[in-house]
Every structure is written in C-alpha cells, then in structure tokens.
Amino acid sequence: MKIGRKLLKWWLVFCLTLLGFGTLYYFNMHSQLYHADVTKLSFLIIVIFIFTSVWIGRKTYDLEATSVIDDKIDVGWFIAESCLALGMVGTVTGFLYMLGTAFENIDITNAQTLQDALASMAKGMSTALYTTLTGLIASLIIKVQLVNYEVGELVD
C-alpha cells in the first residue's frame, strides 16, 4: 500500500511530539512536573494524549486504505476538549490548594510562618500553571492530528 500524505503528516506530528518528550526528559522536566503538580493531573493528561495520538494514527492509516472517514472520530474531538478541561480542573485545584493551605497556620510576627505560607502558595500556583499548560498543549496537538485526518483530499 502506498503511504499517503495524511499518514505522513500524522507521522511528522507524532515524531516531533516524541522529540519534544525526549527534550523534556533530557532537561529533567518530568521530575520537575512530578514535584510541582500536587494533583498529578498532568500525567493523566499525558497518558490520555499518548493513547489518543496512537488511536488517531491508526485511524489515519485505515483512512489511507479505505478512503472513508470514520464516524467515531468525533470521540477524538471530545478527548481533545477533555484534556483542556482536565487542565482547567488542575488550575482550579491548584488555586484552591494555594489559598486553602497558605493561610492556615500563619503568624504575621513569625517570619518562618510567612516563608512557609509563600512556599505553599508557590506549590499551588505551580500546580495550576503546569496542569493548564499540559492540557493546552495536549489538546492543541490532538486537534492538529484530527484536522489532518478530516480535512483535505486523499492523494494516491
């Protein structure tokens, strides 16, 4: 079977994504993400993203053979929006963590309690920002793959 443009475009996006993951691993960002995200929702988003990307790749491969767009591809759009929503849930959770734990045992006359409050606030803020970023990036890349699947003509 001749490999079509859609499959090659999907493969390019997938390989660039793998290169991005490799770069993040090289710079130890996975460890930083693990310690910064108290909810660990970022890792759930990443797992969903990987499985969805492989699923879209399989659908693209099948499309090259049959030239018929699968009706179940709408599930991919739902998953892309779900990654975005999970990122927002992490954002809200991070803000709640930041505001809920920061001021529990604060004593304004003690500098150590102020430092502890700031450290707790930083942990909540990092959770909020990392989950948002992970959800946005995963959603965007899934949507790029889905647009590649749905738009354009098949070239034999």
Find tokens 């890349």 and name the residue: 141
pTM for this entry: 0.88
CA-CA distance, 59 to 49, in Å (whole number)? Answer: 15
What does the domain layout of the chain look like in residue ranges?
5-150
C-alpha neighbours within 13 Å on the C-beta side of residue 15: 6
Q: Long-range contacts made by residues 151-154, C-beta under 8 angstroms, separation at least 24?
A: 152/5, 152/6, 154/4, 154/5, 154/6, 154/63, 154/64, 154/67
Digit-coded pLDDT (tens) for 18-69:
999 999 999 999 999 999 999 999 999 999 999 999 999 999 999 988 888 8
Cβ atoms of 83 and 128 within 8 Å: the answer is no
